[in-house]
């Protein structure tokens, strides 16, 4: 058994990703800088899980790209991280709620900020639901299905 220069990557997530991704995708993800690695890895796992459940998933790496992607794709629901570069999740949420076309779009907010103020603030800005990281993928899936009024596929 060897040692790793990046021990944080040897947790539960890498074996999960290795099983989900092609060898080329996995190698590309492993070469990502540490801070971006986890963001990309979590997005990738969420995308794979949601696609297996029949969802079509569009990704964005920052808040500005998220708004562009929402305008382009017209999703039924949004999973929004608060900690986004360029425009944070609060800004994205405010923008979505200010426009008639997206004012009622269901939004599940994800954040590492588990404090009461953050939770209250996202609901004041119009979030439909709130999950604190780390979260269970099945819990996210259940919330998505509940907000969309769809039964879960087992």
Which residues on adjacent β-strands are paired with residue 80?
A: 109
Task: Evaluate if residue 82 carries a pLDDT over 50.
Answer: yes
Contact 20, 11 (CB under 8 A): no
Of the two residues 138 and 150, the one the predictor is more confident about is: 138
Work out the pLDDT band at 54, boundaries 50, 70, 90. Answer: confident
The pLDDT value recorded for residue 85 is 87
The 3 state secondary structure assigned to the chain is CCCCCCHHHHCCHHHHHHHHCCHHHHHHHHCCCHHHHHHHHHHHHHHHHHHHCCCCCCCCCCHHHHHHHHHHHCCCCEEEECCCCCCCHHHHHHHHHHCCCCCCCCEEEEECCCCHHHHHHHHHCCCCEEEECCCCHHHHHHHHHHHHCCCCCC
- 63, 78 Cβ separation under 8 angstroms: no
- What is the per-residue pLDDT for 59? 85
| Structural domains of the chain ordered from first start | 10-56 (no CATH), 58-148 (3.40.50.2300)
Residue 6 has pLDDT above 50, yes or no: no
């Amino acid at each position: 058994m060897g040692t790793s220069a990046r021990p944080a990557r040897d947790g539960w997530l890498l074996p999960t990703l290795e099983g989900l991704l092609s060898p080329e995708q996995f190698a590309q993800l492993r070469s990502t800088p540490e801070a971006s690695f986890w963001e990309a890895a979590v997005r990738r796992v969420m995308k794979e899980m949601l696609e297996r459940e029949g969802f079509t998933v569009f990704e964005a790496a920052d808040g500005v790209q998220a708004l562009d992607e929402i305008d382009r794709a017209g999703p039924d629901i949004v999973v929004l991280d608060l900690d986004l570069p360029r425009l944070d999740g609060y800004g994205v949420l405010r923008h979505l709620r200010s426009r008639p076309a997206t004012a009622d779009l269901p939004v599940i907010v994800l954040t590492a900020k588990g404090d009461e103020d953050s939770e209250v603030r996202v609901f004041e800005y119009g979030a439909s639901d709130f999950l604190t990281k780390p979260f269970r993928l099945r819990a996210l899936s259940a919330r998505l299905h509940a907000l969309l009024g769809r039964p879960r596929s087992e």
